[in-house]
Structure 1
Amino acid sequence: MPDTSRRPFHLSISSVAILWLGLLLGVSFIATPAKFAAPTLTLPVALDVGRVTFSLFSKIEWVMAALLLLNVFIAKPSKTIAGATLIAGLIVLFQALYLLPMLDERMTAAIAGSPQPSSVHHAIYVWLEATKALLLATIAAMAILGAIRQPADPSASYRSRVTA
């Protein structure tokens, strides 16, 4: 029999990672590009909606990161899952404390009619979103595998049945 004592935590880790990944894909890679493709939506309005959306999404990501980190702390999964979770959390921290305020300032200027010269901040944000998506997919897949993994020693389940 596989060790199922940590299975609920692995399933919780995978659930949080999958939910967070779905939100990330929906906000960053579907809704945002679609908004800018709408011909009747003016650029200032699209930027303002984007600012509000990403401000709210940043708060949601703080909650998702905290839930994921808490589950990882309790479950003590593989170092890969723990490391990927830590990196995803650090990305959220960097985006919230540095990139979002920088991009918000640029959007405020653009909405006011004074766009600033281009910068790499938006590209960095997009690359970090893609990295976070890959990390979350990895965390989810590895946590699911951790939940269903058989013991490494095939005789372990036999010994536990014999001694029970």
Structure 2
Amino acid sequence: MNPVSAATAGAAVFVWLGMVLAISFLEAPLKFRAPGVTIPVGLGIGRIVFRALNLVELVLVATTLVAVAAGGAGTSVVLLAVVVAAVPAAQLGVIRPRLNRRSDRVLAGERLSRSHAHWYYVAFEAVKAVALLVLGILLLAA
């Protein structure tokens, strides 16, 4: 793979991985433990934070895919780049709409039983994090 493309994709991938780890696996669960943060307040904060993360992710997906395509990457790098692009697409297209509908109801004051739907999002975040790590390592070796 061409060194400039590998460096560009690698930088995007590791910045993205850092954001996913910091927001999804630190900020998201910890905000609900802060004093005075109710479920509605936490959901409101979460929606804003994840909307911003998802916008940045779209830029990082595009950067990664363009760099990988332009760099003459091998099959494993291309495959992982497709995986890391497909995961947020699935999250935004399938999982987030369900979570948004539910959080709309909670934010409107409806009392709902505990939901496990967010665990699907977390599972996809874990897959994305592992794929980003492996892709980043492959790009460093390119």
| Structure 1 unaligned regions, length at least 5 | 147-164
Whole-Å separation in 2 of the counterparts to 1:56 and 1:10? 26
Whether 1:44 and 2:40 are equivalent positions in the alignment is: yes
SS of equivalent to 1:113: coil
Once the 2 structures are TM-superposed, how far is the Cα of residue 32 of structure 1 from its aligned partner?
0.8
Task: Give, in whole Å, the separation in 1 of the partners of 2:85 and 2:138.
Answer: 17
Return the letter of the residue paired with 1:106: R
SS in 2 for 1:82: helix
Alignment match of 1:74 (pick from 63, 70, 75) = 70
Q: Percent identity?
A: 27
Q: Deviations over 1:71-105 (max 9, x none)?
A: 11101212111111101111111111221121111
Once the two structures are superposed, the pairs formed by residues 20-39 of structure 1 within 5 Å of their partners are 20-39=16-35
**Which residue identity lines up with residue 101 of structure 1 in the other structure?**
P
Q: Which residue of 1 aligns with 2:106?
A: 110
- Deviation of the 1:115 alpha carbon: 3.9
Please tell me the residue identity of whatever aligns with 2:12.
Answer: V
Equivalent of 2:131, from 135, 157, 160? 135
For residue 90 of structure 1, what is the aligned residue in structure 2?
86
Q: Distance in 2 between matches of 1:87 and 1:55?
A: 21
Change (3 A) 1:120 1:42: closer
Once superposed, which parts of structure 1, at least 4 consecutive aligned residues long, lie more than 3 Å away?
115-120
Counterpart selection for 1:121 from 88, 113, 117: 117
